[in-house]
Structure 1
Amino acid sequence: MGNTSQEVTFPKSSETSLIPMPEATPKKQLSIEELSYLPPPAPFYVQQGLREKLISKCKENPFVPLGVVFTTVVLGIGLGTMASEKHRHKAQLMMRLRVGGQAFAIFAVLAGVYHNTKMGKDKNG
């Protein structure tokens, strides 16, 4: 193995090359006809509050809040009957109804999503 040294040279400050820049063109005023391709400004939307948004969503798919309320009521009754030892059968029934209410609420959400996507395709297509 021989020692070979390679010499690296850097350009001197006077030898640096400059990148050519395009000359600045004066800005021209655009006429209204030239701007006619621009889309119209977006309409202003009214911001909905939490209450208005909740009401509009409940009107879109009323079965979802119905399933949630049913599940909550059955859960409360079931937890209340679990505290007493003599109504074990009723507590078990309430917990099964709670699962049914949850399943109903999930299917209502999925049906609402399917319906909204179907209506969206009909509007666009």
Structure 2
Amino acid sequence: MNSLFQSNAMVNAPHMEEGSGDKLARKAKESPFMPIGLAGLAAVCGIGIYKYKTRGSMSTSVFLMQLRVAAQGTVVGALTLGLAYTMANEYLFKKKDGN
């Protein structure tokens, strides 16, 4: 019975066998703004690492809190743009069939 469940699970979920690179490529195709959000996150973290040395008298915890807000804002902004893009393609720019 257990092998029957496992074989049905593999048929219903073929993405379970894919590697991390294949999964990232599939997710990027499904949501084109996800890689932009990840690149923005990496850019904000890189800039934060660079600016950490020149933060002046600001405490580390305050600096990291501001860096976290900037990184989250970048990712949420990219995901929001992706959602707006998807909704616009689906509802606004959708060609009417048969009319």
Q: TM-score, normalized by length of structure 1?
A: 0.41
Larger Rg: 1
More helix as a share of residues: 2
